[in-house]
Structures are given as C-alpha cells and as structure tokens.
Amino acid sequence: MRVSKRSDAMTQSTVAASERSHGSIRTVSEEKLMVAVRVRPQRPDEGPRIVHVVSDKMLVLEEEADSRRDVLRQRRLNDKHYVYDRVFGEGSTQEDVYDAVCAPLVGDTLKGFAGAVFAYGATGAGKTYTMTGLMSRALSHLFASIAESEHPESYE
C-alpha cells in the first residue's frame, strides 16, 4: 500500500473530523442508518490489492493515474479515502460482523422496533456468505431471547 506519512496524517485527520462533525460516537441502537463495509480476502487470481482497511471506520481505494504518459498527474495522490460507520477487514469473522451490526438490531426488535440489514455489492463480493452467517446468528439470538423471556407471549 502506498500510504505516505502525509497520507496517513490526512487519514487520521479525516476520521477525527468525521467524528467531530457527528458529535459523540453513537451506538447502532441510536442510529437510524448505519453503513458498514466488509472487505473479503483477495483471491489468488485477482490483480494487485487496491482496497486497504486503514481503521475500523476508514478504507482507502487506490486509483491508477489516467495515463502513464501524463507525468504531471502520475505523481498526484490518487488514493480515495472513504469513511463509514464501521469497516471490517478481511480477517473479520461472521461473529465480529454480527456482534457489531446485527445483535443490537435483534435486541431492538425484541423491544418492538423494526430493523433491517441490507447487503449490496458486486457479484462475488461476499454478500451471500455474509448474510447467511448473519441470518443464522440472528435467528438463534432471537429464539434464545424469546425462550429466556420472563413474559413469553404466544401468537396464532
């Protein structure tokens, strides 16, 4: 990854500015919408890595210069910094994603609130893999919580 000291300082200041502009950091339960990104491991047949997780809130997307003959633009920093509510690196587990994103929604659902998880991405990005893991954990969590409830209700 081509992250220079200048780029790293810019990344830290971007994350800090984002957190300041949003006030205090809120939990999933306090947010109306949360955007989380999960970076999947790279396959051997893919080209060089262009997505780099910088922190649990930021990733960097490397972009190539438009033209190799355009010397002035080649030296320009083409990396794009993106800030999200949560970023999961390729080493993250299904459990990590569930605990941070879905578990609070299941708890809120049991209190009568609605919640939804939506996966979006290119073909092969890992949506089905991630959602399958999240759905099974959410159902287990939901039914275990109902079974442990002091006032279980029955519905027909």
| Cα dihedral 88, 93, 95, 98 sign | positive
Flag whether 156 is in a domain.
no
Confidence of residue 10 (pLDDT cuts 50, 70, 90): very low
Domain final residue, candidates 49, 74, 91: 91
Select the more confidently predicted residue: 69 or 91: 91
Using one digit for the tens of pLDDT, what is the confidence trace for 122-143? 898 889 999 999 999 999 999 9
What pLDDT digit, counting tens, does each position of 41-50 carry?
Answer: 989 998 888 8
Instruction: Examine residue 155 and state whether it is found in any structural domain, yes or no.
Output: no
Domain identity same for 141 and 73: no
Whether 126 has a binding-site annotation, put simply, is: yes
Partners of 75 in beta bridges? none
- Res 48: pLDDT: 87
pLDDT of 3 > 90? The answer is no
3-state secondary structure 43-105: CCCCCCCCEEECCCCEEEECCCCCCCCCHHHHCCCCCEEEECCEEECCCCCHHHHHHHHHHHH
How confident is the model at residue 6, as a pLDDT?
42
Residue 16, pLDDT above cutoff 60: no
58 has pLDDT over 70: yes
**Residue 123 assigned as binding residue:** yes
Helix (H/G/I), strand (E/B), else coil: 132 = helix
In a domain, 72, yes or no: yes
Give the model's pLDDT for residue 9: 47
Residue 78 located in a structural domain: yes
The verdict on 56 and 114 lying in the same domain is no
Domain, as residue range, for 105:
93-150
The answer to whether 124 is a known ligand-binding residue is yes
Same domain, 80 and 98: no
| Residue that wins the pLDDT comparison between 27 and 104 | 104
In tens, the pLDDT along 77-114 reads 678 999 999 999 999 999 999 999 999 999 998 888 88
Q: Does 127 belong to an annotated binding site?
A: yes
